[in-house]
């Protein structure tokens, strides 16, 4: 079977990341804002997991469904993804995240008393949902991304059961959100963080560095650790 072109794969990454930000951040901005709906932290966590789960089945066979610069970097570090395709994937993911946040902004501002607030941005210190300091946020993002990439690398290993990878990956992201939403609002994904930050500006852009650096470090560590533990047969 002919592999989709790089242009096709980048487009798929754009669409998938668009859906991740619109679905995940949208649940926080539109639904969790209404206590009577009762979705709360659990609902937002599942929303992020479901965006990845649904897109994994929709575009996994096209692009691999990374939807996240840290995932692309981690797969490269684990020798599952070519370095020459990193830039197109990351650009598509970031643009998809911004587009998703843009559509969410258009919807959210249709309510008369809308207040931008955090707009699902990630933050630390005064902008952490639970008031956690920068150091705690940094450690949390590194470790959560590390574990997310280990789940991805394991679930997509050639020796793993076929066809089930989206389930542990989506549920893994749900669990990560349940743990870390109080700390940073949960990033583990620079593209997801960049989208809302563009619209919030100010402090969200000033703190955005952490939500690029920490997830990338976690992803690189996972790409190094997994083959040591599992003896990865898919190395290129």
CA dihedral 152, 154, 159, 165 (to 10 degrees): -40
CA separation for the pair 172, 160 (Å, rounded) = 16
Task: Work out the percent of the chain whose per-residue pLDDT is above 70.
Answer: 95
Q: What is the mean pLDDT of residues 212-224?
A: 98
Whole-number pLDDT of residue 39: 81
pLDDT single digits (tens) 77-100: 999 999 999 999 999 999 999 999
CA separation for the pair 114, 112 (Å, rounded) = 6
Domains recognised in the chain with CATH numbers: 6-230 (1.20.1080.10)
pLDDT single digits (tens) 99-109: 999 999 999 99
Contact (CB, 8 A) for 131 and 143: no
End-to-end CA gap in the chain? 19
Which pTM value belongs to this model? 0.93
């Amino acid at each position: 079977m002919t592999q989709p072109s790089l242009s096709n794969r980048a487009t798929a990454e754009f669409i998938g990341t668009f859906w991740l930000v619109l679905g995940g951040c949208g649940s926080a901005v539109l639904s969790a804002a209404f206590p009577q709906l009762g979705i709360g932290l659990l609902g937002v966590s599942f929303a992020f997991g479901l965006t990845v789960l649904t897109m994994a089945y929709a575009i996994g066979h096209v692009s691999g469904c990374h939807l996240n610069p840290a995932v692309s970097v981690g797969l490269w570090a684990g020798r599952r993804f070519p370095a020459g395709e990193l830039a197109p994937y990351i650009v598509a993911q970031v643009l998809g995240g911004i587009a998703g946040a843009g559509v969410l902004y258009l919807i959210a501002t249709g309510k008369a008393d809308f207040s931008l607030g955090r707009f699902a941005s990630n933050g630390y210190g005064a902008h952490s949902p639970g008031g956690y300091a920068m150091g705690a946020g940094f450690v949390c993002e590194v470790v959560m991304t590390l574990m997310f990439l280990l789940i991805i690398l394991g679930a997509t290993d050639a020796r793993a059961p076929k066809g089930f990878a989206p389930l542990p990956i989506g549920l893994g992201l749900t669990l990560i959100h349940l743990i870390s939403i109080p700390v940073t609002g949960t990033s583990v994904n620079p593209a997801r963080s960049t989208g809302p930050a563009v619209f919030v500006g100010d402090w969200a852009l000033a703190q955005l560095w952490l939500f690029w650096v920490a997830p990338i470090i976690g992803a690189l560590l996972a790409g190094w650790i997994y083959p040591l533990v599992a003896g990865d047969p898919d190395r290129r």
